[in-house]
Amino acid sequence: MKYKMVVLDLDDTLLNKNLEISEETVKTLTRLKEMGVEIVIATGRMFSSALPYINQLGIEGPVINYNGAYIKEVGKDRLIYHKPIPLDIAKKIIKEAEEADLYINIYIDDLLYVAERNEKSDLYYKTTGAQSEPVGKLSEFIYKDPTKMLIIEGNREKMQEYLSYFKDKYRGIVAVTQSKDYFIEFMASGVSKGTAVEFLAEKLNIPLEEVIAIGDNWNDLEMIQTAGLGIAMGNAPAGVREAADLVAGNHDEEGVSEILKEIFSLK
C-alpha cells in the first residue's frame, strides 16, 4: 500500500515530555514530505497554540485544530472548515460547570477566555503555551458560538464522574471527549478528528485506505478507526491501543519516527 497522507496528533504523540518535536522526527517527516506524502497535524489545541510546531515542520497545507472543529490552510491563511457549538447549548454547559465548581475554558475566534486565572489556567499554559484572558463569570460573558470548551479537573474521581455525566446528558447534542486525565472537551455534535480526516481526505482526493493516523488518547480514537492504517502510541490507554491496527513506541522514545521509517522503508 502506498500511503499518501499521514495525520499526527501533537501532545503525547509527536511531542515528547518536554513538549518538543525531536530532530529525528523532524528529519523523518521532512523525508516523507519530499516523497510527496501530505503531513497533517490533528490536535485538540487552538491554532495559535499549535502554530510553532506547524512552522517547525514547514507545513503549508491544512491543519486540524480543536479536535476537528476548525481546519485552516496554513499557507493561504484560510479557514476551510469551522463547526462551533451553538450558543444556547454552550450556555447550558457553562452554567452546569459553574454550579459544580468546575473550571472551564471557552474558545472564540482562536482566543481563550476563562473566568479567572489560577493554578488551573497556569497548568493549561504550561501544557499548551496558550495564554488565557480572564473575563469574569463565563455564563454572563459568552456572546458567540464557541469553537470548543474544555473543563480542567485534577480530581480523578470528580473528573470521571462529570465526563460520564456530560456524555450521557448531551449525547447527540454535543461531542464530549477526553484528551488528558484532567481534560474534558466539548465540541459541536458530529465533530471529531475522524470526521475531519474524512473531510480532508475527500478534499485532497486521497482514499481513506491511503491515510495513516497516529494518536495517543481518546480524542484520537475516531481518526485511528477512520484511517486506512490507525496507529496508537505505546503510551496510549489500553482501549485506544486495542482499537488500533498497530501500536508504536512511546512518545519519549521516537515512537512516531520509528514506526513511520518502518512503514515507508526509510533507513
Amino acid at 151: I
Q: Per-residue pLDDT averaged across 241-261, rounded? A: 96
- Per-residue model confidence (pLDDT) at position 218: 95
- Residues 220-229 have pLDDT tens digits of 999 999 999 9
Amino acid at 248: A
Q: Per-residue pLDDT averaged across 54-71, rounded? A: 97
Positive or negative torsion for Cα 5, 8, 14, 20: positive
Percent of the chain with pLDDT over 70: 100
Confidence grade of residue 101 (pLDDT, cut at 50, 70, 90): very high
- Per-residue model confidence (pLDDT) at position 68: 98
- Residues 196-206 have pLDDT tens digits of 999 999 999 99
- Per-residue model confidence (pLDDT) at position 239: 95
**CB neighbours of residue 157 within 10 Å:** 8
Confidence grade of residue 35 (pLDDT, cut at 50, 70, 90): very high
Kind and range of the H or E run holding 135: none
In three-state form (DSSP H/G/I as H, E/B as E, the rest C), the secondary structure along 220-245 is: HHHHHHHCCEEEECCCCCHHHHHHCC
Confidence grade of residue 267 (pLDDT, cut at 50, 70, 90): confident
| Domain boundaries along the sequence of the chain | 5-82+191-263, 87-188
Contact 48, 66 (CB under 8 A): no
Q: Per-residue pLDDT averaged across 178-193, rounded? A: 95
- Per-residue model confidence (pLDDT) at position 194: 97
- Lookup: cell for 17: 515530555
- Residues 106-132 have pLDDT tens digits of 999 999 999 999 999 999 999 999 999
Pick the CATH number of 5-82+191-263 from 3.40.50.150, 3.40.50.1000, 3.30.70.20, 1.10.10.10: 3.40.50.1000
At a CB cut-off of 8 Å and minimum separation 6, what does 139 contact? 91, 94, 95, 98
Q: Comparing 5-82+191-263 with 87-188, is the CATH topology the same? A: no
- Lookup: cell for 167: 456524555
At a CB cut-off of 8 Å and minimum separation 6, what does 240 contact? 215, 216, 217, 218, 220, 221, 224, 232
- What fold, for 87-188? 3.30.1240
Q: Per-residue pLDDT averaged across 62-82, rounded? A: 96
Residue 188's alpha-carbon distances to 21, 80, 127, 217, in angstroms, are 30, 17, 24, 19
Residue 212's alpha-carbon distances to 1, 24, 181, 224, 239, in angstroms, are 11, 19, 25, 8, 19
- Residues 155-173 have pLDDT tens digits of 999 999 999 999 999 999 9
Average pLDDT, the chain: 96
